[in-house]
Amino acid sequence: MFDKLKKRFGGQAAVRLHTASVAPSPTVDVTDASFAATVQTPRLVVVDFWAEWCQPCQVMSAYIGFLAKDYAEHVLVAALDVDENPETPQHFQVLGLPTLLFLHNGQEVDRIIGVVPYEEIKARVDHLLASL
């Protein structure tokens, strides 16, 4: 997802001030083909359903990037482009974008539709981690 956004906004990588290596994004891009295998885990999985044309999705994608870094030890964070992968959104009845699905062992345990503050996403994750 981040590669597509980078291409859309000029395709140039940001200028680095240091030569130290930068860790790759902890967000995993998933497809219809890889979705089931990716989410079948006892870890909490947060999936960002997004589309390139969706302006609110860009805000949530930034929040998802923060979430992936803040919870890297405890949560698997994934992103799925609904235009290129229509089967998974249909299966989970994703009707609005952006949508975040929270999954545990491949089963939906919570959902957020639309843009919400980052603090609300973190609160949901904290609650789910405490209850799973």
pLDDT tens-digit series, residues 12-62: 443 333 334 344 458 999 999 999 999 999 999 999 999 999 999 999 999
Catalytic residue among 45, 57, 76, 121: 57
pLDDT at 26: 83
> Where are the chain's structural domains?
26-131
> For residues 9 and 87, which has the higher predicted lDDT (pLDDT)?
87
pLDDT at 8: 52
Q: Residue 101: pLDDT above 80?
A: yes
Alpha carbons 31 and 38: distance in angstroms, whole number: 10
Cα angle value 31/61/33 (rounded, 5°):
5
Q: Choose among 99, 96, 101: nearest CA to 125.
A: 101
pLDDT at 13: 41
Q: Residue 5: pLDDT above 70?
A: no
Side chain identity at residue 58, one-letter code: Q
Catalytic residue among 5, 54, 59, 112: 54
pLDDT at 1: 58
Q: Which fold has domain 26-131?
A: Glutaredoxin (3.40.30)
Dihedral of CA 75/81/84/86: which sign? positive
pLDDT tens-digit series, residues 55-100: 999 999 999 999 999 999 999 999 999 999 999 999 999 999 999 9
The verdict on whether 57 is a catalytic residue reads yes
pLDDT at 95: 96
Alpha carbons 5 and 113: distance in angstroms, whole number: 21
